[in-house]
Amino acid sequence: MQDSNKLLQQAQREIEASSKTSPTAAGPAEGRTAAPSDAHIDALNEVFALFRINYHNQYYKAYSDGAVLGQIKKLWLESLQKFDPDTIRRGAREVIETSDYLPTLNKMMVACQGDPRKHGLKDPHAAYVEACQAPSPKTAFNWSHPAVYHAGRASDWYFLSSSTERAAFPVFEQHYKRLCERVINGETLPSPDTPALPEHTETPLSNEENQRRMQALRDSLDI
């Protein structure tokens, strides 16, 4: 029981440290007070089931006390509910594929956050600068990644151009991180909708050219 208490205390320390040092993930705003959704609860239960299968001996040694396991799950859920349920599942798979050891909460959060650079995604501030500096038409600009364009569009181009960075960046960052999470989870974002050029471009004729054509028509009809 003493080991279980130590484990619970460690988990509590980790969740406190994670809330202070971990970057905010894409998803609902930080400090949400809503109760976890059923989808988040199901995802966390699936994660612990995967851990039990893949880290069998370590799992039962760390979580031998059922009451303590329930408390640890609650602490994990409070930290991980900021992520989409599919992101939690992906993070668990990444941990299992890359580590021989049962993960701590902090390691699980890092796995859920993923590495945007592996997907060609800029950091949020660099993406914000790109969105603000992109000329119009926005759909014709050579974006570093569609996520930047869609985050700018969701934030409202006029709002970005007319507001201070202090006001605009948090709005853009929230949209961008949500999009980054979708990309990291395997989704392909659509490219900006560039209007298609017409197949034939009609140039109005000059008055002189119109007169020449009319005269040629009269000559052909012997008028």
What percent of the chain is predicted at pLDDT more than 70?
A: 71
Distance of CA 30 to the CA centre of its chain: 15
pLDDT band at 82 (very low <50, low <70, confident <90, very high): confident
Please name the amino acid found at residue 10. Answer: Q
pLDDT at 193 > cutoff 50: yes
Q: How far apart are CA 51 and CA 49, in angstroms?
A: 5
Whole-number pLDDT of residue 118? 81
CB neighbourhood size of 72 (10 A): 23
Confirm if 128 and 176 have CB atoms less than 8 A apart. yes
* Tens digits of residue pLDDT in 25-63: 333 344 445 678 889 999 999 999 999 999 999 999 999
Closest CA to 138 of 126, 156, 121: 156
Quick one: DSSP state of residue 33? Answer: -
- Cα torsion 43, 48, 53, 57 to 10°: value is 170
Distance of CA 207 to the CA centre of its chain: 57
Residue 37's region, left for phi above 0, alpha for psi from -120 to 50, else beta, is beta
* Tens digits of residue pLDDT in 119-161: 889 999 999 999 999 999 999 999 999 999 999 999 999 999 9
What percent of the chain is predicted at pLDDT more than 90?
A: 48
Whole-number pLDDT of residue 128? 95
pLDDT at 223 > cutoff 60: no
Q: How far apart are CA 56 and CA 51, in angstroms?
A: 7
Burial 36-71, CB ≥16 within 10 A → b, else e: beeebeebbeebbebbeebbeeebeebbebeebbee
Whole-number pLDDT of residue 191? 87
Confirm if 56 and 2 have CB atoms less than 8 A apart. no
Quick one: DSSP state of residue 101? Answer: S
- Write out the two tokens for 208: 């002189």
pLDDT, mean over the chain: 79
Element (H, E) at 209: helix 207-221
Angle made by CA atoms 77, 78, 80, in degrees to the nearest 5: 60
pLDDT band at 166 (very low <50, low <70, confident <90, very high): very high
pLDDT band at 24 (very low <50, low <70, confident <90, very high): very low
Q: Token pair 């569609």 is at which residue?
A: 146
